[in-house]
Structure 1
Amino acid sequence: MKNHVTVGVDGSDESRTAARWAAHEALLRQVPLRLVHAVDWLLDPVLPGVGPQSADTWADRAVTEAAEELRGRHPNLQITTRCPTGRPAAALAAEAADSALLVLGSRGLGGLTGFLVGSVALSAVAATDTPVVLVRSTDERQEAASDSAPGTGFGTGAGTGAGTGAGIVVGVDIQEACDRVLTFAFEEAERRGCRLQVVHSWKMPPAYGYVPLFDSDSERDIERSVTRTVEDMLLPWRHKFPAVDVTTRVSRGSAGERLLHASRGAALVVVGRRLRHSPLGPHLGPVAHAVLHHAAAPVAIVAHP
């Protein structure tokens, strides 16, 4: 059973923010937290002064300092540390294999510019079937506010992410199976006791572009039909999670833009990615890519068939 949360740490501000978010998530799930730092032996030819012994010391210090800080904040949280050897993305993906969730940090570029998502994070997302959450770096004032909030310890700010006052946003595609994505989103909303907003966007069939005088009533009929399809899709989860307050937003337009708009002030944005292994490298799909790089809130990427 996957009964712990894993977070990658490397001593950076981004990884420390991710570790704090992951600690809160582990507390919500009532599971242990695992801190992981991958020791990359290939650093040696790139950085001549960093040999195997120095890399080991660096790794030990990164996980030890992170663990000490989190134990000070959350004395009842069970924390373990690991320093596997290997390329970071592959090592993180291997550690995620028996985890319920992998959490990684990413540098925020401010405002609506969004994430600076490195190759390690993208490769780790593409290499694992485990849900991955990317957490933006934030300032200490936001983190202090989140730590002082009552209940779960989450504030409502989008930086550190989870708060009972801030809802969860999930994007769905009626043309694909979204079971894993919806289950993850509903479970997260239930844990936090927060609202869940389901977002779907649609576009007119290409053939309608050739109709010079398109009837607006037909457009409204299509939107009503799409809305009914989304509501039908949600019925099993509404029955399974009756305590979750669910709203739907169905609109015409770009899926990425609609999700980004809905995600403002959210605690977490949940999107899916197709399970596929491309020889050309990581492939997330245009919607996941847009949300991952531009959402201010933490973003959960959930793999699905």
Structure 2
Amino acid sequence: MNGSERIRRPHVLFGYDGTAENDGALLWAVEEARRRELDLVICHCWHWPYASGHEDPHAEAIMKRAGENLLERGVRRARRLGVPGTVRRRLMRGPVDEALLSASGAAELLVIGSHDRLDDGATALEVPARSERPVIVVPDGRTRPRRVVVGTDGTAGCDPALGFAFGEAALRGWELHVVYGCWEPSAVSEAELALFNDREALEKTRAAELEDAVAPWRERNPEIDVTVSLLLERPCEALRDAADGAGLLVLGDRGNGPWPLGATSSEMLREARCPVAVVPGRKSRDDWAYASDQDVATPHATADPAGG
């Protein structure tokens, strides 16, 4: 089996930068691979920062070698954390968001780390906005409540996020809290605007929508302890409070444009202190381009001469 065939096997793709802040995200990626019984692909992206015509092959070779050494360290760390299957390392030329998106074609999901402040253009915003796979953004490795919180708007467009949230709760044995902040007059049709002048009618209508959205998933997963909250608040306000008691916050990617990421998901990625999963509602493409500088399969059982 050649490298191209191997990389097309379903796996968890992890963006690795070797920093201490990134270690919590690596731990999460290892746990996802273990619970899903998938391989783990650790990807590091290097980027030549100068304009075309200013290449230096010698300097580029040093940067690539440093990236290879960093990946070796990441593989050893993943093994120590208990990856049960195969760990692959993948060295790619950046920019980081473009490289991760290109590498994500066969991934079941992506895991990336996040720094304290997310400015426009940050990888932790760009990748979830453009990915056709679920992306989990992990800020750090602290211990959190055993609860998944998922935001919904009561429409079928939230089914992917609900399905992912139920799946995570089942995999981890966590409870699940479904939150619908329904005070969103700017997002409804003209025919529904009158509801916001009658809070009782609004609550009754949205409660029925919420029950219809959650019921099929609850029936398929009777073992999960599910709490449902309908709140007459704006989505961000409702989710902000719920996320304080969450070990994982799951959101859809509702928005407009070629790579939509809605205002709620963008704001929660900036504000939430827990891991945030953004689940795309768009259909995935059948294939992606694979532009890897290096793609090496590293079985878990193989001895590591560096002491992994």
Given candidates 119, 122, 125, the residue that maps to 2:125 is 122
Which of 274, 278, 281 is equivalent to 1:301? 278
Question: How far did residue 243 of structure 1 move?
Answer: 1.2
| Relative contact order, higher structure (CA 8 A, sep 6+) | 2
CA displacement at 1:47 relative to structure 2: 11
Which residue of the partner structure matches residue 295 of structure 2?
A: none
Determine if contact 1:106/1:118 at 8 Å carries over to the other structure: no
Secondary structure at the aligned position of 2:93 is classed as: coil
Distance 2:9 2:205 in 1: 39
Indicate which of 65, 68, 75 corresponds to 1:60: 68
Aligned-pair distance for 1:199? 0.4
Q: In the alignment, which residue of structure 1 is the partner of 2:290?
A: none
TM-score by length of 1: 0.79
1:240 aligns with 2:215: no
Query: Which residue of structure 1 lines up, in the alignment, with residue 17 of structure 2?
Result: 10
| 1:98 has 2:106 as partner | yes
> C-alpha separation between the residues in 1 aligned to 2:120 and 2:172?
27
Aligned with 2:181 (options 195, 201, 212): 201
**Could you tell me which amino acid in structure 1 is paired with residue 63 of structure 2?**
A
Shift of 1:298: 0.1
Per-residue CA shift, 1:220-248, capped at 9, x if unaligned?
A: 34213311220111111112112111110
CA deviation string 1:13-48 (max 9, x = no partner): 232221111111111111111100123234588998
**SS at 1:262's partner residue?**
helix
Q: Is the 8 A contact 1:71 1:77 kept in 2?
A: no
C-alpha change, 1:234 and 1:50, in structure 2 (3 Å) is farther
Structure 2: runs of 5 or more not aligned:
1-7, 186-191, 283-308
Question: Residue 81 of structure 1 is aligned with which of 50, 71, 89?
Answer: 89
Please list the CA deviations of residues 139-186 of structure 1 after superposition, one character each: whole Å capped at 9, or x if unmatched. Answer: xxx4xxxxxxxxxxxxxx23xxxxxx5110000012452121111111
* Change in 2 beyond 3 A, CA 1:117/1:196: farther
CA separation of 1:236/1:208 partners in 2, compared to 1, >3 Å: closer, same or farther? closer
Matched, 1:167 2:174: no
Count of aligned positions? 267
Alignment partner of 1:268 is 2:248: yes
Matched, 1:40 2:40: no
Asked if the contact 2:156–2:213 (Cα under 8 Å) also holds between the matched residues in 1, the reply is no
Residue of structure 2 in register with 1:153 after alignment: none
Inter-CA distance 44–69: structure 2 relative to 1 (3 Å threshold): farther
Contact 2:159 / 2:213 at 8 angstroms: preserved in 1?
A: no
Question: What fraction of aligned residue pairs are identical, expressed as a percent?
Answer: 29
Q: 1:47 to 1:301 in 2, by over 3 A?
A: farther
Cα drift, residue 61 of structure 1: 1.9
Give the aligned residue type for 1:93. Answer: L
In 2, Cα distance between equivalents of 1:16 and 1:245:
30
Say whether residues 1:285 and 2:235 are aligned partners: no
Provide the residue aligned with 2:165 in structure 1. Answer: 185
Rounded to whole Å, the distance in 1 between the matches of 2:58 and 2:152 is 46
Provide structure 1 residue ranges, at least 5 long, that are not aligned to the other structure: 110-114, 143-156, 159-164
Kept after mapping to 2: 8 A contact 1:108/1:116: no
Name the aligned partner's letter for residue 133 of structure 1: I
